[in-house]
């Protein structure tokens, strides 16, 4: 039923070449777009379809697949009481995507968190520095190839007694 969603219909009209997938599961609509078009799509959703609240920006690590990462934006239209999820695939070789801080100020800390924990570079971000881990931390802890015990630690061997 995603094809009947007002946002999906509008996005298909304006960004037919940028849309990679549209799905609905349990009443939640998810649109996957090319990362090169992410700002245009988000701007259209904000300005034309009144998705005026960016609730979250996060990422998913699909280790072993190409593209490895998926950057995920959760948007809400307060006037229409409607939500949409927008995803953009990001390869490990070019682990960057345009920053949405020019559209929503709330993207600032959310993108910093994704950068800190996944290592995804948000181009044109005003202050892309670590937000949770210390500045001298090595690696990105939510990547699936990150050591479970942390860097330079002995693997857990179970109880000693």
| Span 97-153, pLDDT tens digits | 999 999 999 999 999 999 999 999 999 999 999 999 999 988 899 999 887 776 677
Structural domain boundaries in the chain:
2-99
In terms of residues, how long is the chain? 161
- Give me the long-range contacts of 15-22 (CB less than 8 A, separation at least 24): 15/40, 15/41, 15/44, 20/89
CA angle 107, 118, 113 (to 5 degrees): 30
11-44 pLDDT, tens digit each: 999 999 999 999 999 989 999 999 999 999 999 9
Q: Tokens representing 159?
A: 């109880």
**pLDDT higher than 70, residue 156:** no
Class of domain 2-99: alpha beta
Q: What is the pLDDT of residue 158?
A: 63
Q: Residue with structure tokens 């995507």?
A: 97
């Amino acid at each position: 039923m995603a094809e009947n969603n007002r946002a999906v219909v509008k996005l298909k009209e304006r960004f037919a070449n940028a849309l990679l997938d549209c799905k609905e599961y349990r009443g939640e609509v998810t649109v996957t777009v090319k990362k090169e078009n992410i700002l245009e799509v988000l701007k259209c959703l904000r300005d034309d379809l009144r998705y005026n609240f960016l609730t979250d920006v996060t990422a998913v690590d699909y280790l072993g697949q190409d593209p490895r990462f998926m950057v995920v934006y959760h948007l809400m239209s307060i006037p229409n009481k409607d939500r949409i999820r927008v995803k953009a695939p990001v390869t490990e070789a070019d682990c960057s995507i345009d920053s949405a801080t020019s559209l929503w100020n709330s993207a600032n800390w959310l993108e910093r968190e994704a950068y800190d924990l996944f290592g995804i570079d948000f181009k044109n971000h005003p202050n892309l520095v670590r937000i949770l881990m210390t500045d001298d931390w090595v690696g990105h802890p939510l990547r699936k190839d990150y050591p479970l015990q942390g860097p330079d630690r002995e693997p857990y061997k179970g109880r000693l007694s």
